[in-house]
Amino acid sequence: MAEPYKLVFIVGPTAVGKSSLAFQLARDNNGVILNADSVQTYRGLNVGTAKPTLDEFKMVPHRLFDIVEPPARLTAGEYFPRAREALKECLEKQHVFVVGGSGFYIQALEKGMFPVGSSNPKLLAKYQSVLEKEGGVEKLYEILKEKDPDYASSLPAADSYRVLRALVLVETEGRSMAEVQQSFEKQQEQYRLKIPLLKVGLNMDRETLRDRVTQRVEDMVANGLKSEVEGLLARGFEGWHPLSSVGYKETVAHIKGELDEPRWKQQIVTATMQLAKRQMTWFRRDESIEWYRGPEETPQALKRIESYLNLGK
């Protein structure tokens, strides 16, 4: 007998139309949207994250948006149990559309996370202090190279989140990341979702995507991105982690007088396109994703998902 409610992942790079597709599906098919965008979990970051509008929030249930108050930070390890709990609760009464471009969060929700390291607040605080006050990510990366050179060589030196997480794991476990990963793979089945799911990806050619990103940046500026960031800075949140994300980092620099308006906008476009490239590199590794080229194939994606929702009826 078919499950009454189904799970669909809608993934892909930023600005390809994932949220619009998910909204239409949830509105028309008794669904809820479950957020898998790391920055949209933060309250107060609305314009620069292209978060759903108030009307959209009212029309369709949304979960795991605005769940973190400044100056707190949410890690993938903390997201995982909250997302699993929300997923279990929602699937009892609605279809669930998991939407986002944060590949690590999506992987955590689907496949689980090995529960180590996150329970070591002393080490986390120690390396967080290095990151913020004693040499930055460059120093962290040098420490990781000493402790686990093989894993360090697989990471971008500027990826502060993964470098920090690796250091805490390596020191907590007393073994290399390769050994930690082997342990996780042996136990992975107990963490992996045990329910059927469909994964649909949206993508588009670089020039079309760049045009969409450029228009999105213009819209964000017109809708008050600068004012949003000025308000957060006025409250003393300049060091808040999500303000280093794409769009916000450049806006902080603009407010400080480091970028004039044309360079501010252009740097957001450039950084967004770089983010999109990294997102696609991540998602291409997953052979279970069914890809559709937007915007011309988005109607086919919609039909495919609705067909899946109606299976067994």
Strand duo 197-203 + 290-293: pairing: parallel
Return the number of other C-beta atoms located less than 10 Å from residue 294's C-beta: 24
Q: How far apart are CA 312 and CA 224, in angstroms?
A: 46
DSSP 11: E
Q: How far apart are CA 99 and CA 21, in angstroms?
A: 9
**Per-residue pLDDT at 250 exceeds 70:** yes
For every residue of 221-279, DSSP letters joined together read: HHTTHHHHHHHHHHTT-TT-GGGGSTTHHHHHHHHTTSS-HHHHHHHHHHHHHHHHHHH
Q: Where are the beta strands (DSSP E) in 176-223?
A: 197-203
Q: What is the pLDDT of residues 132-184, one digit of tens each?
A: 788 888 999 999 999 999 999 988 888 887 888 889 888 888 899 888 877 76
* Token pair 């082997």: residue: 182
**Per-residue pLDDT at 276 exceeds 90:** yes
The mean pLDDT value for 242-262 works out to 97
Q: How far apart are CA 118 and CA 225, in angstroms?
A: 33
The region that residue 312 occupies, defined by phi over 0 for left and psi between -120 and 50 for alpha, beta otherwise, is left
* Token pair 């759903």: residue: 52
Letter for the amino acid at 225?
L
Q: How far apart are CA 4 and CA 66, in angstroms?
A: 29
Tell me phi and psi for residue 7, to 5 degrees. Answer: -110, 130
Q: What is the pLDDT of residues 186-227, one digit of tens each?
A: 666 677 888 999 999 999 999 999 999 999 999 999 999 999
The mean pLDDT value for 265-275 works out to 97
Structure tokens at 230: 């000025």
When the pLDDT of each residue in the chain is averaged and rounded to a whole number, the result is 91
Q: What predicted TM-score, i.e. pTM, was given to this entire model?
A: 0.83
> Pick the residue with more confidence: 130 or 214?
214
Closest CA to 46 of 236, 309, 248, 187: 248
Structure tokens at 162: 């993964």
Contact 147, 203 (CB under 8 A): no
Domains of the chain: 7-113+191-309 (3.40.50.300), 121-189 (1.10.20.140)
Q: How far apart are CA 241 and CA 127, in angstroms?
A: 15
**Per-residue pLDDT at 92 exceeds 70:** yes
Task: Output the 3-class SS for 77-124.
Answer: HHHHHHHHHHHHHHHCCCEEEEEECCHHHHHHHHHCCCCCCCCCHHHH
Q: How far apart are CA 22 and CA 192, in angstroms?
A: 23
Q: Which residues lie below 8 Å from residue 136, measured CB to CB, with a gap of 6+?
A: 130
- What are the C-alpha distances in Å from 71 to residues 80, 119, 120, 233, 284? 20, 20, 20, 11, 34
Q: Is 214 exposed, middle or buried (0-12, 13-18, 19+ CB in 10 A)?
A: middle
Residue 1 confidence (pLDDT)? 38
**Per-residue pLDDT at 296 exceeds 50:** yes
